Amino acid sequence: MNDVNSNNQTGQIHFYQGSEALKNKNPLDAIKQKMAEFSNVKNVSFLLGAGVSSGAILDMKGMHAEISQSIDENTNLQVKTKYLYKKLSGDNLEKVLGVLYAKKHFLEGTIEPDKTEKTEETEKDSVNELINHIQDQMFSKINIDLLGEKSC
């Protein structure tokens, strides 16, 4: 099967799973079959053609380092929020967010807010602020301008 690239040159479709090329007489059928397999798996997320390998999007470890720095430098974040982040261990953003969401759900289900402390930030507020900050930072780092210089 042929396709045309941006230089109007004819090429071929190459389909890889990991570093292994999947060879088939009809590459389109091989792609359809693999996509059908991927879509039948429950509770699994995958990035398809996200550009992670091209360097346009930071890997998760690099993104974690940049987000950690942004938390340290952000003057708008509450002190309790920064302290909460420093208590979390590891360099895996998915696990950090998983722990934060678990804590958020725990706090929502077990602790009644103290109505006398309206001005002081609660633990739940810190968790929500940290989740929102991390997610906003992740989105801004993966929402790249595909036509800009840095994406090439």
And the tokens for 55? 């360097």
Residue corresponding to tokens 């190459």: 14
Q: What pLDDT does 69 receive? A: 92
Query: Which amino acid does the sequence have at 109?
Result: G
The mean pLDDT value for 73-100 works out to 89
Residue 63 has pLDDT above 90, yes or no: no
Q: What pLDDT does 132 receive? A: 93
Residue 113 has pLDDT above 50, yes or no: yes
Give whole-number Cα distances, 65 to 46, 59, 112, in Å.
Answer: 22, 10, 35
Residue corresponding to tokens 């590459």: 27
Which 8-state DSSP code applies to residue 42? Answer: T
Q: What are phi and psi of 143, to 5 degrees?
A: -90, 75
131 versus 90: the higher-pLDDT residue is 131
Percent of the chain with pLDDT over 90: 23
The mean pLDDT value for 54-81 works out to 83
10 versus 124: the higher-pLDDT residue is 124
Whole-angstrom distance, CA of residue 132 vs CA of residue 49: 26
Q: Which of 18-22, 80-84, 119-123, 135-139 has the lowest mean pLDDT?
A: 119-123
